[in-house]
Amino acid sequence: MEFVKYIQVSYADHKYYNYEDASSISMCILGRFLFSDVSRPSSFISWALDIESDHACANLTDLYKENDYILMSDLYSEEEVPTELKMTLQQFVQILTDWEEKVLKLKPHEVIIKYENDEFVIETKD
């Protein structure tokens, strides 16, 4: 099982999520994309479904479409060959939808994103 984990912390009356742990670089890329780059999931869903656009760039993440897949990499990778996370278009849309419903709206204390049996799952704890 692959995973990335974040914990909510408070500082000066602001709440944000602090990186806790990840099982791999690719899961870290996914976690950083969701926590740092996605404030409006609908904009990334629209990009993913737009057949004319094959590239998007966020604060920390580079995104490409290749056939029915989304390729995600660290925009500032220091690796000679940057690690890529590859997921289906359907998985990408689903994780963004789950992110909005389970994290952005509910603001749980702990967030764990798991990848197992070819499925991404967001688990939360208050």
What are the strands of the beta sheet with 69-74, ordered from one edge? 55-57, 61-66, 69-74, 84-88
pLDDT class for 47, splitting at 50, 70, 90? very high
Q: How many domains, the chain?
A: 1
10 has a pLDDT exceeding 90: no
Q: Whose CA is closest to 37, among 19, 67, 59, 20?
A: 59
Q: How far is CA 101 from its chain centroid?
A: 14
**Would you put residue 31 in left (φ > 0), alpha (ψ -120 to 50) or beta?**
alpha
pLDDT tens across 84-111, in order? Answer: 999 999 999 999 999 999 999 999 999 9
Over residues 2-24, mean pLDDT: 89
Residue 82's domain comprises: 2-125
Q: Give the mean pLDDT of 43-63.
A: 94
Both structure tokens of 73: 């990499």
pTM: 0.92
Q: Tokens for 113, please give them.
A: 């994103």
30, two tokens:
């996914």
Does residue 28 register a pLDDT over 90? Answer: yes
| pLDDT higher than threshold 90 for residue 26 | yes
Share of the chain above pLDDT 70, in %: 100
Angle at Cα 64 formed by Cα 62 and Cα 69, nearest 5°?
130
Q: Give the Cα separation of 65 and 67 in Å (integer).
A: 6
